[in-house]
Chains A and B, each alone.
Chain A
Amino acid sequence: MLEWLQQPWPWYVAGPIIGLMVPVLLLIGNKRLGISSSLRHICAACLPAKIPFFQYDWKKEAWNLFFVTGVLIGGYIAATLLTSSAPVQVNEKLLAELQLYGITDHTSLLPVDIFNWSAVLTLRGFLLMIVGGFLVGFGTRYAGGCTSGHAIMGLSNLQWPSLVATCCFMAGGFIMANLIMPFILKL
Chain B
Amino acid sequence: MHPQDTDTDFEVRSLDPGYTTDQNPPWWHNTKYLIGGIIFGIVLTKAEVISWFRIQEMFRLQSFHMFGVIGSAVVVGALSVFIIKKYKLKTVSGEAIDLSPKSFHKGQVIGGLLFGFGWAMTGACPGPLFAQIGTGATVIIVTLASAIAGTWVYGWLREKLPH
Measured CB to CB, the residues of A under 8 A from B are 5, 8-32, 34-40, 42-43, 47, 49, 51-57, 59-64, 66-79, 82, 88, 90-91, 93-94, 98, 106, 108-111, 114-117, 119-120, 127-162, 164-178, 180-181, 184
Contact = CB atoms under 8 A, between A and B. Distances in A.
Contacts of A142: 107, 110-111, 114-115, 154, 161
Interface string B35-46: 111111111111
Interface residues of B, number: 128
B80 to A, nearest CB: 4
Given A76-B134, A144-B8, A29 B33 contact: yes
A59 B24 contact: yes
Given A9-B46, A136-B126, 5 more contacts: A11-B65, A26-B81, A26-B99, A66-B33, A79-B45
Contacts, number: 539
B137 to A, nearest CB: 5
A129 B74 contact: no
Tell me the dominant secondary structure on chain A's binding face. helix
B31 to A, nearest CB: 7
A181 B39 CA distance: 32
A158 B124 CA distance: 24
Interface of B: 1-3, 7-15, 24, 27, 30-60, 62-66, 68-78, 80-81, 83-84, 89, 91-93, 95, 97-99, 101-105, 107-127, 129-140, 142-156, 158, 161
Contacts of B46: 5, 8-9, 14, 78, 82
